Each structure stands twice: as C-alpha cells, then as structure tokens.
Structure 1
Amino acid sequence: MPISPASSAFPTGTILGYPRIGRRRELKKAVEAFWSGAMSAGELETVAAGLRQATRDRLVDLGFGRTDSSIPESFSYYDQVLDTIVAVGAIPTRFAELVAADGTLDLTGYFTLARGEGENLPLEMTKWFDSNYHYLVPEIGPETVFSLASDRIVREFVEAKAAGFLTRPQLVGPVTFLLLSKASDEAPAGFSPLSRLNDLLPVYAALLTRLADAGAEWVQLDEPGLVSESIDVPRADTLAAVASAYGVLGQHRIRPGLFVAAPYGSLDDALPVLAATAVEAIGLDLVRGSVPLAVPGLAEKTLVAGVIDGHNIWRGDLAGAFEIVQSVRALSDSVSVCTSTSLLHVPHDVRDEKSLPAALVSWLAFADQKVIQVATLARGLTAGRAAIAGPLADAAAALAARSTAPGVHDGSVRARAAALTDSDFRRGNYADRLSAQDAALQLPALPTTTIGSFPQTADIRRARARFLKGTLAAQDYRNLMRAEIGRVVALQEEIGLDVIVHGEPERNDMVQYFAENLDGFAVTENGWVQSYGSRCTRPSILWGDVSRPTPITVDWSVYAQSLTAKPVKGMLTGPVTILAWSFVRDDQPLGETARQVSLALRDEIGDLEAAGIKIVQVDEPALRELLPLKKKNHADYLDWSVGSFRLATAGVADETQIHTHLCYSEFGVVIEAIRNLDADVTSIEAARSRMEVVREIEAGGFDHGIGAGIYDIHSPRVPSVEELTALLDTALESIPERQVWVNPDCGLKTRGYDETVHSLHNMLAATRVVRERRGAVVGV
C-alpha cells in the first residue's frame, strides 16, 4: 500500500488561481519592456518575483492562511499551457536550437515559442474552454521527448517558502495537457497526442517528487478537459486516460497531496473514475454544474466546492452558495470552499473603481471580493452559519436592491423584443444578394481588405486620454481622429487594398467602445483582465436592459468614405461577442440579453446603410467561444446566438454586403452555425493553424464568401511574399476562387506601423502573384 502523502488537511477555503498581470498591469509592461530590449531578463524576473510576493501578501490580508496551502502559485509570464510545455520539454523541433544542452529554455526562448521568430511560426493559439482567455496549443508527436526540462514551479514554491508561505503549486494536469494538444508536423496521419500519456506521466511523477522534497504538502492539477464534450477525442479514451493517469500518479509514493480541479462545468462520468483513484481532493464547479450524486470512493475524498463564480463579477447569492456547500457535506465529511474557476478571468479589486455608481459597486465582486467571500463561507463551515449571518444578509440585501433598480428592466426595450416575428431574422436569397453586390461593388477576384483596426499609436492613446480627462476639447479631439483616419485611408490606397476601413482610432476596445455608447452598460477604469500573453482588456459590465440612444459609428465611416472612391466597411462588434467579452448580467437568459443588443446594432446598421455605406462588418470572433462544453446545451446556444446575429443584420437591402469575422477557435463543430449566420463574407483565422480550417470549410460545403486570414497579426514577425502566396494557394485548393477574400486574421490595433505596412505590402504582392497566375480579372 502506498504511503498517504498528504501530511495536512486541505485548506477549508481556497481559490483556483489569482490574476497575474498586476493590479496596474505591471507584468504586461515589464514583459513588453523585455521584448523591446529596455529590460533585462534579470530585471523581468525581479518584477515577477515582486508581483508573486504581493499576491501572497494580499491573499493573507483577505483571509487566507500563510502556511495551510490555501494560496495557489498560479503565476505565469505568458500562459499556463506554455509553462507546462516548457516544464515537460515538449518543444517543437523547429525550435530545437533554442534549447540549451541541459534541455532548458531561457526566457527569450520561452517567449519565442509564443511569438515566433524568422521563418519559425509560433505555437497556434486558441480559446481556453468557454472563456476569452487564449492558450498556446502544444504540438505532440512520436518524436516528442518528454523530460523534466524546467523546475520553475519548484523554484517559485521555494521562493514562497523562504518568505514564510506554504503555498500550493499549480500545473495543467496531464490529461488536459494532451487533450488540448495537436499532432505535430512530424506525426503520422491519425496520430493522437493522448497516446503519449504513459510517456508523459514519469515527468509529472518526477516533478511531484521534486515538489515533495521541497516541502509542498499539496499540488493542484487543473483538468478542465474532463468536463468538456467538445474536445475531438472519444469520451471513452478520455475516461481511460483519467483512470490511467491518476492511477499512476496516485500510487506514486513520494509526492504532495493531489488536488485535481475541474473548472468550467460538471465532471459527470469522469467523477466516479477520479473517485476510484488515490487522489486526495477533487474540485467541483458548482456554478456551472450541480451537486453530484454519491459515488463509490467519494466519501474518502476532500470535496472542494466551487460555489463562488470565478467567471463573472456579480456578488451573487452568498446564502445560496453556503447552502450548496452544506449539501456537499452529505457526500463527504471533508469539504472545502472554493471558486468555480481561476480568478484569472476577473479584475483585481472593485474598490479601484472610483467612477462606477455606488449602487452598481454594491452588486459586484472582483477577485479580492471573491476571496473574501470564500473566506467568509469557509468560516461558516467551521463556526456555523450564525458566525457569518451578517455578510449573508448584506449580500441578500444587495441582490434584492439590484432586482428593482432603475434601468435593470426597461419596458420599451422588452416590448420591442416581444414584438419580433420570423421575418425580422431573414434576408433575401444569397444568390440574388451576390449578384446585386457584384454589380454594386465591382470588386476584383480575390478582393483584399483588413479586419478593421489599424495600429494605435502613442499619440492616439494620449489624445484619447487627454479627451477623457477634459484637457483636450471635443472638436480638437475630433480633428485629430479625422486626421488619423485620413492617414489610414491614404495608406490603404497606396498599398492597394480593395475595400477600405477607417482604422478605428477613436475606439479604445472593440467592445468597450460600444458599451460606452449603449444604455445598460458600465465601463471600468482599472478592470483589466488578461486575454493572452501581455494582451489585456477591460470587459464592460452589462447590468441592465440594452438600447442605443444615438448613432455610434456613422459619422466616422461616412467621413472615411468621403476620402476614397473605394468602398469603406462600416465596423461593428456583434451581439455574441459583446456578451462574451463583457461581464453580463446573470439574472436572465443570455439569449434574451443578446436579442436586446442585436436590436441596438440593427438600428446602427440601418443608419450606416442609409448614409451610403455599402459594406458592414459585424465581428463575431466569440461565436465558438461561448459554445457550451456540454453537447446537450449546444442546440439552444446555437439557436439564440445565430438568431441574434441574423436579427442584427437582416434589415438591409440585397446590395448591402454583410461581413463577419471569427478568430482563434476550432470551427469544425460550428461550421453549420457559421453558414446559418448568412453573412455574405466570413473572414477567419487561418495562418497560425496553417490553413487547417479551410479543409473544414470544404468538408462543410460552405458556399458564401470566405476571407482567408493569411497574415498572423498576433506575432511580430513579417511573413514573406512566398509564405503568404503558399497560404493563399492552399486556401484556393479547398475553396473556389469566387468565394475567397484575402485579409489578415485579425485587427491590427496591437501591432506597430512598420511591421504592419511591410506585411500588408507582402499580402498584396502575394495576391497579385496568385491573380496573375490564375488569370483573375475584375468581375471574375
């Protein structure tokens, strides 16, 4: 029999992770300074160590213990999956020269995997389950040699211990790591990364031994892959992998206690499999899932009840959460309180928001407030409900006040939504629309465009900041933005793009800009959340019924159109993406909220069309992101998400061309939904995945326009004409020329002008090469 490695009880209250970018985005700034050469690796390490220490200190101040493993070590310089790739030595062969003789990778090499270098493409990036966080996709093949190549997780635990903290190291679990991997370029057809599990487990076992030797009492292995039915691996294979992985690791004699966390949904059939292994603690997401039935072996586990929503910012029903925790006690005598997911998805502290209305603030809980909620419920577990009666009553009062607050319900908005009929969701026949648009637009074969935004310079950001502070007059700000639009339009004319955008200099963020101009939303000052790497966003707060008081984008688009004879695209963010990238009210179904947003956008599109804008792009990059992880919920989601897009776009004439944009998601499972959007042109990410998606499009029989995103804007590298030509050729092998548009894979806001201009010139050069080779002419 193995020795039980858990030398102490699991903490009564904990979280699955904490924001790691810094309260004022200190990590983002330091990482970008390192990239630019303004900061050394040692200086970056110092900044990161300071942020880790500040997090530990903060969590103790909020009610967690210093030496009870309640504080997770969840820091990352870029991405937790990338950290695991580096830890287990799963470096793709194209980056082999970055690896030192002892198998290690320095910080420069670490970031090169994420950002690419020269001809070496970066790791593919896609969405982390149903969140707006992006992870880097491991590439695993028969040639991958797993080894314990980085001990950073051990060093950070030792760092904490030296400062007087006994923390809980955190790592992506082995099953989820392989489920999220793709087959490497060297792998044979049909290869499954999960087949390498037995080769990977010794590395995890070695790491567990190193952590135990360092004094770790618990380790957290994140296994969200176990709750998802959207991963393209047979469920039986996943369950067998769970049994194998935790059978092996559970029997390993020299290790910390194993806490397997399963956020973003319910474990369902994976729960009895986990319960049959020797893991000591199992994390249950009881916000997305429900209290499970008793299964054999569960009574011997510590059940970590994820009852505080880590995915949203509402204060919620604290008394209801406490009752759920109490009900879990029927399954096990050992119960702890936790967040449902990592707090990576929410901002640091609502007390940093000085401009939000006091009533709204009383309804909210950011990361720090959620830690306090966990600590409160943990106290109730040990001392009884009476000990926390005050906080429970305060939360109930805030919830009641929210339900009756002005603006939460707007009768006119609800009446308009209730009056909709089927005809409000339908456009004319696509073939008729295509003919009308060809005649109206007169575009060449393989028309070129961009996704919308152009680089936002420091001057633009400073002007916006001055305008918001009141130190720049409104007319002066308007003149500066118009000047930038003029420059961007002239640049696109010079490059040779066929469809022009105004560049969006006036927009701070593709969702926040609309939130600032729609009723029912609020925006934050410091509510930063990591999206990927150093990229941070400030999700808006959708708290009430939504309507559009005045036009939002029309003046800017009309001004851009006045500067060119080429068609200018009006640029809007779609209803699903506005919901996905905001913190959305949780007191009504998402579909109901989406319909309200759609009606506001429908009004905006109508005004753009009336003003002479012939092309309108309604971006929906989050369509796949919100797809539920459980298949039983797919149909309802696809019904309201597709319906909301169609409601927004169906009011225009045949001659008006509707575009949409999707990025960084696996499209195969929603290809029918993309078709049902009925957009005239859909632009997609294709470069990082090396055109994998076009084969899915071909297999799905998609017959509308497709914008093949051949220029990867999430990397600073400039793709060559030859590379872009090859990608375009690959697209045309699967998609008829009539359907293909040429564009970057996403907006250019985060890039610099030099690399952007160079890359766009190369994109146009590649397009000309292919046009000439294929004899493409205007109207063909």
Structure 2
Amino acid sequence: MTILNHILGFPRIGYKRELKIAQEMYWSKKISKSKLKKIGKKIRIKNLKIQKKMGLDFLSVGDFAWYDHVLTTSMMLGNIPKRFINSHNKINLDTLFYIARGVSCNQKSTYPSEMTKWFNTNYHYIVPEFHKDSNFKFSWKQLFEEIDEALLIGKNIKPILLGPMSYLWLGKTYEFTFNRFNLLDEILNIYKNILIQLKKKGIQWVQIDEPILSLDLSSEWKKKFIYSYNYLKCDVNILLTTYFGNVFHNLDIIQEIPIQGIHLDLVEGNYNILNLHKYFSKDLIISLGIINGKNIWKTDLLKYYTLIKKLLKHRNNIWIGSSCSLMHVPIDLDQEKRIKTELKILFSFAVQKCYELNLLKNSLNINNIDLLESWVLPLFTYNNINDNNHKNNNIKHQILNLNKNNYQRKSSYKDRYIKQKNKLNLPILPITTIGSLPQTKDLRDLRFKFKYGSINKKEYQKEIFKIIKYNIREQEKLDIDVLVHGEPERNDMVEYFGENLEGFLFTDYGWVQSYGSRCVKPPIIFSDISRIYPITLDWIKYAQSLTKKPVKGMLTGPVTILLWSFVREDISQQEIATQISLALKDEIYDLEKNGINIIQIDEPALREGLPLRDIDKEKYLSWAVNAFKLSVSDVKDTTQIHTHMCYCDFNDIIQAISNLDADVITIETARSNMEILDCFKNFRYPNSIGPGFYDIHSPNIPQEKDIIKLINQAMKIIPIQKLWINPDCGLKTRTWIEVNNSLKNLVSATKKIRENIS
C-alpha cells in the first residue's frame, strides 16, 4: 500500500500578514466587507495551491478563520450570545467580529466574549458561551464555500472540523445547576447533517479534531465521547485527530468508537512507533504526526524512515502528517534573506514542512534514502559542532553552582510589604498600567528606519526619548500613581529581549497568529543565552528622571521568553529558562542600582507551559517558578517586584502563582467580569493583586460606573491594602484617544472609591 501524507492545517494569515492588515482596515472602515472577503479567499486559494505543489495527498480545507477556529465553530453552530443578535436575527461576518471584539454604539457598549489560550500554545480562542436555553442551528456555511473553492484546485479534499466534544469542553456555562451535556444532542445533530452533506459532495475523509483526548477525562466525558461518535456514524470516513500529547490513557474511548482513522502526535505524545500496531484494529488508518507543527527545526527524516519501515512490516495502512496544525509556525523560510546560510539550512517553516512530508513519503514508497540524507545532514553537522560553537562554559558553571538560596528573597512578603510601603508612599488602591502605551504608525516607522539603517543610533535614541517624555507627561496629567515609560523601543515583549541577548536569531517574515489580527514574530533560540550589556536601563533611567513618581522597570520573564520563542531541541527547556533567568538577574541588578524601586517581570506564559495531564504538572511548575524566583532573588526588600499574567485559567496554578512570591501580581479579569477572581475566594493569596478593571482588547471605552462596580466586586475578595487598580493588559494596540478616555475613567472611578473608603 502507498503511504499517504497530509497536514492538519496551514497558516491563515498570509505571506505578508495580508489577513491582519485587511481585518484592521475593515474595522477602521477603510475597506469594504467584500474587499475583506476577497483578500481572505485569495489567501485560502494560495494555501491550497502550495499544498498541491508540495505534493500533499489531501488538501486541507476549513483551517481558515476570520478570528479563530473555535469562534468559527460557534458561528457554524449558530451559538451566538443573545447580546449580539440583532432585531433581524441576521448572522454575518460583523456578528463574528462583535463577539470577538465587542461593540460600542451610541454610548452603549456590548462586552465581547471571553478569550483564553488554546491548550499549551500562545494561540487564543474566543470561549463559547453555553446557557440552558441555548439554541443551535447550522448558520455559517463558510466551510462549504471553501470546499467548492478547493474542488477547483484538487479533488482529494479533507475538510477539518473542531470535534463536538472538544467544542463542548472549551465552552463556558453560566448557570451552576446547568449541565452542558443537555446541549449535546442538538450539537451532534448539526454535525451529523454536515457529514451527510459532505458525503453528497463526494468527500471521502473528514478530519475531526478532538484535542481534549490528551487531557484527563472523567468517566462521564468518556461515556459521552463514545455516545457522540456512535451518533455521528455515517458513510463518510472520519480521521479522529489528536495532538499536544499522548492519548493512550483514553485508549478505551478510541478503541470503542466507529472511526476509520486516528491521528497521533508523535512529537509531544512520545509514542513508541514500533508498538502502535498492537493497540488498533488492522482496518484503522494510523496517521503519524511526525513533523513538528510547533517548532521550526528540520525533522530527522532518517530516524522516521527507519521506524516507519519497521512498522510497515506489521501494517500497511499508514499516513504521515504534521503533529498538529502548522498555524503555529511561520509560512515560508524562502522569504528570509538575512539569516546566515549555515543556520538557515537547519530550519523548516510551514511550506518546508509540507516538502518534508512529501520527501519522506516518496522515500518510503520507493525505498530510497538518498534525498533524506542530504536533507538532514545539516542537523547532524549542527549537533556535532554545538558543543564547541553554541555552549557558554561560564553560563554552564553558574548553573552548576546554584543552590536553594538562589531561589528565594531575603525576607518574607510581610516584612517586605512594610518596607516598600514606607519607601514608596503610595495611596490606597494605587493605580498603574501594565507596561506598554500606544504604538503609533510614526513610532513603528521610526523603529523600522533604525533597524534598516536609515537613521543612526543617536538620532533614534533622541526620538525615543521624546516619546518617553510624552508618555510620562500624559500619565502625570491623568494622575496615575506608578508610571511606565511605555515601551516605545519595543516591537514585541519577547522579540525585543531576544534581540539584546546572545543566543537568539531573528526572522523578517516569521509571523505567527496569536489571536484575531494579533501576530507575533517569535525569535529562534539556537545557542546558549547570556546578557552582554544592559537592555532597558537607559530608557527606564531617563523616564524616572522626568518625574518624582515611581516608574516601573519593565522586563519579560524567563518562562515567557522561553515559551514564546522557537527553542533549540538539544537541551531541556528547564536549562534554557535558567540561562534566561541569569541574564535577567543582571538586568534587574542594574535597574535597582540606578534607583528603580519597582520592577515588573511579566510571565503571561506561565500557565501556557503547563502539561495537559495532571501527572506531569508538578515537575513543570517547580522549575518554571524557580526560573522566576532565581531572577529576583537578590533584590533588596524595598524593591517591589510585580508580575503580570493574562487570558488563562488560574485555578490549577494558583499555588504556583503564590510560590512566585511576587509582591504584586496583575491579572486579566475584566473580560470575564471578575469571575477569574473566584479562585482567590478559596485560596488565601498572601501578596498584593491588581485585577484588570477594563478589557484593553476591545475598542469599547469603559464607563466610570462599570469600573466602580468591578472595583467593589474585587474589594469583597481582596483586602483593600493589597488591591491595585490597572487595565488588564498592555495598551500598545489602542489609540491615545481610547487610552486617555479609558484611563481617565479608571482614575476617576478609583478616586471615588477612595473617598468612600476614607
């Protein structure tokens, strides 16, 4: 039997972020809806042609989304929150954007749905809302439109659907006595009808993603899983797709449901390929996810060639594919013109990963490894020279000499609190922001000119200082208590630090979608990490010289720098995080020595790195927390350490958050209407907390009365002596008009609360 290949999804943003640009132009009313749709279609057609050109046996359809694929599924099922349904019950593209971003009209604001992280990735999705009176109706026919587009390019189409069980898991219920399984039959009925319609269109295989199979499922969820797929049984072949971990703890489900294929993530699942044939019936297609969909290094195709050849002795119905969707990696390495050849030949972006699949498929089918050897040779060469060229013996020595005293502050929080209170002399309910302030087109153009040599360092610094001065003055006018310099010098919170540390490599077009129109360009960690000069000191010192109010030093934490980069694979993540911590430790020392009394080290990715299974979580949290504590362990008691986290479920890491021992933690809560604070009701968090009092990702201006309501809610849970007031995240994506109006209301609301307290 011939080996077949496929991917689980292709990046949807476009080669030059065309989707992002078009979305933002549409939102600002600079292009029409029809123009936006044309751009989306153009991206989809190009993606399909790439897959066909690269020799994939199936063209994946349904991986495109206008915001995220979970929200697309909500639209498909007609699961629209009532506040977004208009008088005509019309559901269209604007409805989708309103759900994601909220809507403001005639002084009335409609808050968006919640947003959170997609499993253990930096991708976000809009959380489905479930109510006991929720109704479902097939309302969004985009999938069938995309299938018709694809059929003009190739006949072997593989539609992709987010599975009904994972969709139900990812949503949120709003009535405590309500069981979401009451909605299951109605949802399954829509899925069944979709499958029937796909069969009528001649579709042979449908990819149904059920990533929750990598999680620990209760017996009730397992029973419903089996029930659901027996309900969906029909003439179309189902490839049940799992990823982000091993699923053998849920093997009893997979073995019992009527599916025709199973996809396994061999990268994060850590399966023994040679034993796979023992667990599945001989009729079942096994799709091997061997190409890493979350990192950019070439795959050792020779290793997989050998293993798959051995597996083929036991069964011949094998497919090969990406471990997960390729939406988590950049699109095309060929766009990168400035990466040195000796490093560039080590990498593989989405297009190249499709090529890898075709290369391995052809080699297996003709029993020839010549092309594989030349493809992987650079990897072997790199690994052989890595000990000499990419190791820093000084860093190695520092790590070996660390002891338990290097992972803790000198005094307890109780003692530090008193010293910091006397030193900083802040009012009750101190007001601050998370760090970044609006980044205008002029500012982005300035950074671009400096990056490509149009202006020199002195000219660049002079202009950045002007912007910092403006930022400080605006905050003083608003009467904010703890100021920030606004981060005008930073393109991205991780990329900026990577650019100023040894061991990182950068791309020009290595964009990856984070959510909606938000794209990030993760750096590549290719060798040992160290700091050779101060990174933020000049900017923060200058900002502090402009005001008598405290200005926060702003750093990105070691775990976030690690997880939001493409990491080397020859050493552990723990070791890389420790290297970053030691570099940040030097930076913190310089800030403190120069009179910066408040330093914020952001760790929004801490929850993201949490393994999916309970059995693996404690080990990760132990070294992740230690990485943070190592970076701050030497600071003075009077230096106040802040950290920030956003868009995640804090319940299962609340003890780890406490273990960080940051003096102040700021967290995202506004989008969930303070519901995230519920985890602090049962857990007596010892340190200070700044919950977000308005959602910065929405263009809506928060009203004073709404902020007062949220502050009052927070004061019921957090002692006022430990409560900080702040937005829920950085403000760089907002305009100055939005920021000034929002912060003005935040400050006035806080002052009214203070008066009542007095």
TM-score, normalisation: structure 2: 0.96
Task: Name the residue aligned to 2:285.
Answer: 302
Identity of aligned residues (%): 40
Select between 18-27 and 345-354 the one with higher mean Cα deviation: 345-354
Letter in structure 2 aligned against 1:265? G
Matched, 1:20 2:43: no
- Corresponding residue number in structure 2 for 1:768: 751
Name 2:400's counterpart in structure 1: 418
**Pairing 1:269–2:259 present:** no
Structure 1 counterpart of 2:499, from 511, 516, 529: 516
SS at the partner of 2:416? helix
Superposed counterparts of 1:32-47, under 5 Å: 32-47=24-39
Any conservation in 1 of the 2:117–2:608 contact (CA below 8 Å)? yes
* Contact 2:117–2:123 (8 Å) recurs in 1: yes
Q: Secondary structure at the match of 1:168?
A: strand
8 Å Cα contact 1:260-1:283 kept in structure 2: yes
* Corresponding residue for residue 203 of structure 1: 190
Give the structure 1 partner of residue 64 of structure 2: 75
Return 615-624 or 374-383, whichever deviates more. 374-383
Q: Higher mean Cα deviation, 526-535 or 52-61?
A: 52-61
**1:326/1:759 CA distance change after superposition, 3 Å:** farther
Selected match of 1:106 from 78, 86, 92: 92
How many residues in Structure 1 have an aligned counterpart in Structure 2?
A: 749
Read off the aligned partner of 1:420 and give its amino acid letter: L
SS at match of 2:6: coil
**1:507 is the counterpart of 2:494:** no
Distance change (3 Å), C-alpha of 1:279 and 1:769: same
Partner of 2:380: 399
In the alignment, the residues of structure 2 paired with residue 380 and residue 454 of structure 1 have an alpha-carbon distance, to the nearest angstrom, of 53
Local SS of the residue matching 2:302:
helix
**Quick one: distance in 1 between partners of 2:408 and 2:610?**
23
Aligned residue among 668, 675, 678 for 2:661: 678
How far apart are the structure 2 equivalents of 1:517 and 1:333? 50
Hey, what's the Cα distance between the residues in 2 that align with 1:329 and 1:196? Answer: 42
Could you tell me how far apart the structure 2 residues matched to 1:91 and 1:11 are?
42
Q: Specify the alignment match of 1:728 in structure 2.
A: 711
DSSP 3-state at the match of 2:86: helix
The alignment's TM-score, normalised by the length of structure 1, stands at: 0.94
Distance 1:328-1:746 versus aligned 2 partners, 3 A rule? farther
Matched, 1:553 2:536: yes
Aligned 1:655-670 pairs, distance under 5 A: 655-670=638-653
- What is the CA distance between 1:331 and its match in structure 2? 6.3
Q: 1-side partners of 2:332 and 2:253: how far apart?
A: 38
| Matched residue, 2:595 | 612
Residues 10 and 302 in structure 1, CA contact (< 8 A), matched pair in contact too: no
Query: Which residue type is aligned with residue 265 of structure 2?
Result: D
Task: State the distance in 2 between where 1:205 and 1:332 align.
Answer: 31
Root-mean-square deviation (CA), in Å?
1.6
Secondary structure, counterpart of 2:615 in structure 1: helix
Partner Cα separation in structure 2 for residue 259 and residue 273 of structure 1:
14
Match of 1:6 in 2: none
Shift of 1:274: 2.0
Aligned twin of 1:213: 200
Query: Which residue number corresponds to residue 91 of structure 1?
Result: 80
Question: Per-residue deviation at 1:424?
Answer: 0.9
Q: Answer whether contact 2:528 2:576 (CA < 8 A) is retained.
A: yes
State the Cα distance separating 1:70 from its structure 2 match.
4.0
1:279 corresponds to 2:259: yes
CA distance in 2 between partners of 1:307 and 1:327 (Å):
15
User: What does residue 116 of structure 1 align with?
Assistant: 102
Q: 2:120 aligns to what?
A: 130
Deviation at 1:52, TM superposition (A): 0.7
Asked if the contact 2:346–2:379 (Cα under 8 Å) also holds between the matched residues in 1, the reply is yes
One-letter amino acid matched to 2:262: I
**Kindly tell me: are residues 70 and 159 of structure 1, through their superposed partners in 2, closer, same or farther at Cα, counting changes over 3 Å?**
closer
Q: CA deviation at 1:401?
A: 2.3
For residues 181 and 294 of structure 1, what CA distance do their matches in structure 2 show? 35
Structure 2 distance, partners of 1:83, 1:543, is: 36
Counterpart of 1:150? 140
Alpha-carbon distance in structure 2 between the residues aligned to 1:605 and 1:396: 41
Show structure 1 runs of 5+ residues with no match.
1-8, 776-780
Equivalent residue runs for 1:744-755 within 5 Å: 744-755=727-738
Is 1:139 the counterpart of 2:129? The answer is yes
Contact 2:59 2:154 in 1 (8 A): no
Q: Does structure 2 retain, via aligned residues, the 8 Å contact 1:317–1:399?
A: no
Residue 355 to residue 626, structure 1, CA distance change in 2 (3 Å): same
Aligned-residue offset at 1:607:
0.3
Q: 1:554 to 1:176 in 2, by over 3 A?
A: same
Shift of 1:329: 3.9
Is the CA contact (8 Å cut-off) linking 2:335 and 2:509 kept in structure 1?
A: yes
CA contact (8 A) 1:16 1:72 kept: no
Candidates 21, 43, 55, aligned match of 1:51: 43
Change in Cα spacing, 1:717 to 1:214, as seen in structure 2 (3 Å) is same
Secondary structure of 2:224's partner?
A: helix
Is residue 458 of structure 1 aligned with residue 441 of structure 2? yes
Distance in structure 2 (CA, Å) of the matches to 1:327 and 1:663: 46
Name the CA distance, whole Å, in 1 between partners of 2:568 and 2:702: 42
Q: 1:572 to 1:155 in 2, by over 3 A?
A: same
For residues 627-658 of structure 1, the C-alpha deviation after alignment (integer angstroms, 9 at most, x for no partner) is 01122211110111000000001110000000
What per-residue deviation string (whole Å, max 9, x for no partner) do you get for residues 578-604 of structure 1?
A: 011100111111101100000000000
Most deviating of 624-633 and 614-623: 624-633
User: Is 535-544 or 468-477 further displaced after alignment?
Assistant: 468-477
Q: Distance in 1 between matches of 2:548 and 2:522?
A: 36
The CA deviation at 1:297 is 4.9
Deviations 1:505-541 (A, max 9, x none): 0011100100000000011111000000000010000
- 1:222 partnered with 2:222: no
SS of match in other structure, 1:741:
coil
2:480 and 2:389 mapped to 1: Cα distance? 44
Matches within 5 A, 1:570-585: 570-585=553-568
1:479-505 per-position Cα deviation (integer Å, ceiling 9, x unaligned): 110000000000000011100000000
